[in-house]
Structure 1
């Protein structure tokens, strides 16, 4: 069903550790106050433009039927088609998807990509289902949200619990309904189906471009620095590898099962092989076992939270010893933690810049799919690096000019661009 939703938080309220939606709304409210926008424009920016919640009947391999719930939220499309990932996780809720869709709007605007923000997901633990069941689940979800997606409407991509195979199934389901192949309906596809070279590791590469720039900004030499990476999935594993290749000593990584620590530096290539063989970083030979919470407070130069939202909170942020935090995940730092870290002069590079490499190369893939013209890996990597470094320097300038933190400056810049697009287009009567 498609619904209009009320304003989800009083515009003047202050979010604490209440979840990602409260944090997203608080960030928007602060940006609106800085920009001096009227309440009507604030409300327009706070509300998702369109939401769809669907029931997904799934026939299990044993013949039984289970009904799951899926969502697709389109926060804003004033600057172009909606864009955002699809996640399969037991944590998925409508409020989480609303927050992630809003952050996607700001991310696309900050990086000057001609998209609005969207997000989708199914409340499901994909580890409990077979591959054929996941395929049926994906195809049914796609068919349910099919009326609101499309290469000129809303372009999904992989996220937590989904991958390029998931996108192949979504593309095929949409294409079968259309009667012809529509490669531009999703991004993050296999290269054989029109995916872009470099897309799979783009988010990780973008995180590392920004991490190295942030270390330099703080006067820290990369080859003499240490790092801890929370999360060893799509983003964290390659981010750890690229950091190590750049000369950073990665001393700890974690996943949902635990964390490992080695003060003289982990061999990330070998650790990736271990995780692929065992399903976890836990038990890596020669490393000390620590908890995921301990990893967040290690004495390192750089911390990369690259798992899920809300891991740095008011309860643990005073114990964080990293001098630079680069957000590989969406919303890993709560509003209260943000204030504490700012007071302690910890440089926090916000998610809407730090992990934007994925949406940038998704944009490149979308352009290539629509034009049926493919770029080399070197072209993709070079274009990504230029985009990330340009956005970084613009953000530093904006923060200095307004006397804001990087997150505040990023949100203000993005909100201003979206609001300008809306005002230029006008309000349809």
Structure 2
């Protein structure tokens, strides 16, 4: 299946090798449909996003020139509640990618039984090549362009790759100015001073560790002295690596888009985090331990945490990946073909729709706190996160065991049943 993508100059072309998150999502839906019983008649609902937006985002750059960026917002389903999903600023963002990410948000929210549908957004821009003022202009114009479709009861954006708390502050302020009143609940992942939640920044990585710990407990693999490789050393991968290290695990490999570090004796995550905090990248840290990107996938481990971008583990890498458990910190890092290879090799895959759901779970807490104007302590946040994630994990693990299916298939069964049951009960209007 070919997809239309654009190069950096904005020229369209056909790329048979392009990453296809939406196609991968559709294949996952096809695989789960035979398990849905009478609800299968509604399964096409999941193959057609409810609303897809492509918007022009023009700004005046610092040098006085006018630049245009392409922005997207996809609302995949709204049957169980308002849309929920992040906004990504990245030079390779495409509509295909945002559609796939929105679909996975539908599954993730339903698998955790959060009262949301699935949505996602993005702007094709490289934040590293723009000033803070230019990024503010892009954010505010993008928010205005999608402003009629978002809102605390419609669609609630959050940070993703290339965006952060500051981005959410600009989005919240822009929306509030346009509706004539401060509306903190329109986004989550905000600064604490604007109604953000304690524990939100670390929540996704914390959730990755919680699901890894629960998988290890059921598989008889002790976390202590286990070997871990983490791809993506940002907020998610950095938090997960730190929690693994605190639990006694040995981090033997780290990788970001600038470098791969491998150390059989174990990498000091605290020092690596301090370095990346200062330099914004791994390149230059432990230069004597630098390896090629492909060597990352060849080092023997107990856990691999892909926490970067989608499509990282394909069938070729899966065929030789020397690990016991893959815990997906990123969205869509494992292709359906790779899933099959890993299953045949007896490697457990903890799917993204469960493993990285800590972020949206604490976003839900933030949304609830904004509505009530009553805020919880970080201890309360983390305790509630543990309770929800372990409950979802137990249900998915039990179903996978009962039906002899993978954890991903079990998560999709539970999620699709919830979404399609809501769709069926609501009926079609008119």
Check whether TM > 0.5.
yes
For residues 206 and 144 of structure 1, the distance between their equivalents in structure 2, rounded to whole angstroms, comes to: 33
For residues 292 and 286 of structure 1, the distance between their equivalents in structure 2, rounded to whole angstroms, comes to: 14
For residues 292 and 84 of structure 2, the distance between their equivalents in structure 1, rounded to whole angstroms, comes to: 35
- Equivalent positions of 1:233-382 (< 5 A) are 233-285=234-286, 288-382=289-383
The offset of 1:45, in angstroms, is 1.7
For residues 141 and 197 of structure 1, the distance between their equivalents in structure 2, rounded to whole angstroms, comes to: 27
The superposition leaves residues 193-245 of structure 1 with CA deviations (integer Å, 9 ceiling, x where unpaired) of 00000001100000001111112222111112110000011211111111111
> Residue 107 of structure 1 aligns with which residue?
108
- 3-state secondary structure, aligned to 2:235: coil
> Residue 138 of structure 1 aligns with which residue?
139
**Contact 1:32 1:42 (8 Å CA) reproduced:** yes
Report the CA distance shift for 1:170/1:218 in structure 2 as closer, same or farther (over 3 A): same
- 3-state secondary structure, aligned to 2:55: strand
**Contact 2:168 2:189 (8 Å CA) reproduced:** yes
- Equivalent positions of 1:385-396 (< 5 A) are 385-396=386-397
- 3-state secondary structure, aligned to 1:200: helix
- 3-state secondary structure, aligned to 1:197: coil
**Contact 2:172 2:187 (8 Å CA) reproduced:** yes
The superposition leaves residues 241-285 of structure 1 with CA deviations (integer Å, 9 ceiling, x where unpaired) of 111111111111110011101112111111111112223212323
The offset of 1:413, in angstroms, is 1.0
**Contact 1:17 1:335 (8 Å CA) reproduced:** no
For residues 331 and 32 of structure 1, the distance between their equivalents in structure 2, rounded to whole angstroms, comes to: 19
Q: Which moved more, 1:29-38 or 1:300-309?
A: 29-38
Is residue 177 from structure 1 mapped to residue 178 from structure 2 by the alignment?
A: yes
For residues 196 and 125 of structure 1, the distance between their equivalents in structure 2, rounded to whole angstroms, comes to: 28
For residues 18 and 277 of structure 1, the distance between their equivalents in structure 2, rounded to whole angstroms, comes to: 32
**Contact 2:56 2:71 (8 Å CA) reproduced:** yes
For residues 300 and 164 of structure 1, the distance between their equivalents in structure 2, rounded to whole angstroms, comes to: 34
The superposition leaves residues 173-206 of structure 1 with CA deviations (integer Å, 9 ceiling, x where unpaired) of 0001111110000000000100000001100000
Is residue 96 from structure 1 mapped to residue 97 from structure 2 by the alignment?
A: yes
For residues 285 and 342 of structure 1, the distance between their equivalents in structure 2, rounded to whole angstroms, comes to: 35
The superposition leaves residues 89-141 of structure 1 with CA deviations (integer Å, 9 ceiling, x where unpaired) of 11111010000000000000000000000000001111110000000000000
The offset of 1:24, in angstroms, is 0.4
- 3-state secondary structure, aligned to 2:146: helix
Aligned pairs, number: 416
> Residue 62 of structure 1 aligns with which residue?
63
The offset of 1:310, in angstroms, is 0.2
> Residue 425 of structure 1 aligns with which residue?
426
- 3-state secondary structure, aligned to 2:148: helix
**Contact 2:43 2:420 (8 Å CA) reproduced:** no
Report the CA distance shift for 1:39/1:401 in structure 2 as closer, same or farther (over 3 A): closer
The superposition leaves residues 138-184 of structure 1 with CA deviations (integer Å, 9 ceiling, x where unpaired) of 00000000000000000000000000000000000000111111000
**Contact 1:17 1:334 (8 Å CA) reproduced:** no
**Contact 2:19 2:311 (8 Å CA) reproduced:** no
The offset of 1:40, in angstroms, is 5.2
For residues 144 and 40 of structure 1, the distance between their equivalents in structure 2, rounded to whole angstroms, comes to: 35
Is residue 201 from structure 1 mapped to residue 195 from structure 2 by the alignment?
A: no
- The TM-score, its normalising length taken from structure 2, stands at 0.94
For residues 392 and 164 of structure 1, the distance between their equivalents in structure 2, rounded to whole angstroms, comes to: 28
Q: Which runs of at least 4 in structure 1 moved beyond 3 Å after TM superposition?
A: 36-40
The offset of 1:17, in angstroms, is 8.7
- 3-state secondary structure, aligned to 2:58: strand
> Residue 4 of structure 1 aligns with which residue?
none
For residues 38 and 90 of structure 2, the distance between their equivalents in structure 1, rounded to whole angstroms, comes to: 36
Q: Which moved more, 1:213-222 or 1:111-120?
A: 213-222
For residues 399 and 364 of structure 2, the distance between their equivalents in structure 1, rounded to whole angstroms, comes to: 24
- 3-state secondary structure, aligned to 1:304: strand
For residues 38 and 105 of structure 1, the distance between their equivalents in structure 2, rounded to whole angstroms, comes to: 16
- Equivalent positions of 1:9-158 (< 5 A) are 19-36=20-37, 41-158=42-159
Unaligned 5+ runs, structure 2: 1-16
The offset of 1:351, in angstroms, is 0.1
**Contact 1:297 1:321 (8 Å CA) reproduced:** yes
> Residue 11 of structure 1 aligns with which residue?
none
- 3-state secondary structure, aligned to 2:316: coil
Unaligned 5+ runs, structure 1: 1-15
- 3-state secondary structure, aligned to 1:407: helix
For residues 363 and 252 of structure 2, the distance between their equivalents in structure 1, rounded to whole angstroms, comes to: 31
For residues 356 and 320 of structure 1, the distance between their equivalents in structure 2, rounded to whole angstroms, comes to: 25
